[in-house]
Structure 1
């Protein structure tokens, strides 16, 4: 049983975490390159937030937005 957990530990440390080790080493030489993926995720989240707000405005303008607390059957 001990070898099973050691195999799981080896899988993560020796294989799956290697990209994170590479990013950690890259950060010492170039911060922007190391955080490029983070910036991409931030841009995607901002775009999704703007799209969501746009859709909320469309529903509110068409009076399709039901803000009554009993709008869902499980609330009333």
Structure 2
């Protein structure tokens, strides 16, 4: 069993965490390049929020939203 768990440790430490090691080395060279991944995530999340709000507005304008008191069980 010890070799099984050592194999799992090797998989995670040497193979799966390799991109994070590259980012760590990149951070020492350039802060901007290292944080572009964070900016990409923030832009994707901002686009998703804008899309969600526009969809909510579209359903609200069409009158499709059920605003009854009994529409939601937590009310």
Q: Which runs of 4+ in 1 moved over 6 A?
A: none
Q: Does 1:13 align with 2:13?
A: yes
**Structure 2, unpaired ranges of 5+:** none
Please name the residue that 2:4 is paired with: 4
Shift of 1:67: 3.1
Equivalent pairs counted in the alignment come to 74
| Structural RMSD (CA) | 1.6
What is the CA–CA distance in structure 1 between the aligned matches of 2:8 and 2:57, rounded to whole Å?
Answer: 49
**Structure 1, unpaired ranges of 5+:** none
